Chain A
């Protein structure tokens, strides 16, 4: 069975600084996708970034980037120039290849941004 682990229950960062959230996963599949979702206090689930396992290049979306280490099964999220609006719960998620497959979430990391 696939599992997703986030070992940092809480993190804190100063505004304008950079923070990295960790995620590891376990799978025997070769075709899979990894995601970071943001859940602000409104509880809306917002997709931050996605990574296809077959792509060697790390995904980037504006201030958000990932460090995808396939052999180590590691998928960390780096947030640059942190903003107050980045404060939220961040979930790492895995999905086996095939668009109808379910997401498996990690336990989340609560990110606080200090002004």
Chain B
């Protein structure tokens, strides 16, 4: 079965550089979530999109921006990178069933490991 695809898997950037992370959700999934997991930490929600519109926003720095495109893939843009941005970035996807009482779970990609040096 198709899964959530994230690219790249690993990324090394220098301080103050820019990085773009990409996420391709499972086919027919209309919702994408981004999470950041620092070393030894639990995943923290950054932002989500439903049908190409931002649906929720968490602890995402102003230096970061994201969007969901017409083909439902999403990109997380990170500028002025700091050492503290080094983390594993997960993308997850789900779909809204519109069936009351039946929610689907989110499926996670394998993550992009960002190292800022």
Taking a contact as CB atoms under 8 Å apart, the answer to whether B103 and A97 are in contact is yes
Stretch at the interface among A12-20, A42-50, A65-73, A75-83: A42-50
Taking a contact as CB atoms under 8 Å apart, the answer to whether A99 and B45 are in contact is no
Question: In this assembly, does A74 line the interface, its C-beta being within 8 Å of a C-beta of chain B?
Answer: no
B106 to chain A, nearest CB (A): 6
Question: In this assembly, does A100 line the interface, its C-beta being within 8 Å of a C-beta of chain B?
Answer: yes
Question: In this assembly, does B62 line the interface, its C-beta being within 8 Å of a C-beta of chain A?
Answer: no
Taking a contact as CB atoms under 8 Å apart, the answer to whether A98 and B103 are in contact is yes
B residues 8-60 near A (Cβ < 8 Å) are 31, 33, 35, 37, 41-45, 48, 50, 55-56, 58
A43-B88, A45-B90, A45-B108 in contact; A99/B43 too (CB < 8 A)? no
Question: In this assembly, does B67 line the interface, its C-beta being within 8 Å of a C-beta of chain A?
Answer: no
B residues 61-117 near A (Cβ < 8 Å) are 88, 90, 92, 94-97, 101, 103-108, 110-111, 113
Task: For A35, list chain B residues within 8 Å (CB).
Answer: 105
When the two chains form the complex, which single residue of B90, B101, B111 contacts A54, counting CB atoms closer than 8 Å? B101
When the two chains form the complex, which single residue of B44, B56, B103, B110 contacts A44, counting CB atoms closer than 8 Å? B110
> Chain A residue with minimal CB distance to B40?
A108
> Chain B residue with minimal CB distance to A44?
B110
Taking a contact as CB atoms under 8 Å apart, the answer to whether B107 and A91 are in contact is no
When the two chains form the complex, which single residue of B37, B55, B105 contacts A47, counting CB atoms closer than 8 Å? B105
Taking a contact as CB atoms under 8 Å apart, the answer to whether B103 and A106 are in contact is no
When the two chains form the complex, which single residue of A42, A44, A99, A107 contacts B104, counting CB atoms closer than 8 Å? A99
Q: How far is the CA of A5 from the CA of B72 in the complex (A)?
A: 33
Q: How far is the CA of A106 from the CA of B92 in the complex (A)?
A: 17
Q: How far is the CA of A84 from the CA of B99 in the complex (A)?
A: 39
When the two chains form the complex, which single residue of A50, A95, A98, A99 contacts B95, counting CB atoms closer than 8 Å? A99
A70 to chain B, nearest CB (A): 16
Taking a contact as CB atoms under 8 Å apart, the answer to whether B101 and A100 are in contact is no
Which residues of chain B have a CB within 8 Å of any CB of chain A? Answer: 31, 33, 35, 37, 41-45, 48, 50, 55-56, 58, 88, 90, 92, 94-97, 101, 103-108, 110-111, 113
List 11 contacting pairs A-B, 8 Å CB cutoff, sorted by A: A43-B111, A44-B111, A45-B108, A46-B108, A91-B43, A95-B103, A99-B97, A99-B103, A102-B58, A103-B35, A108-B42
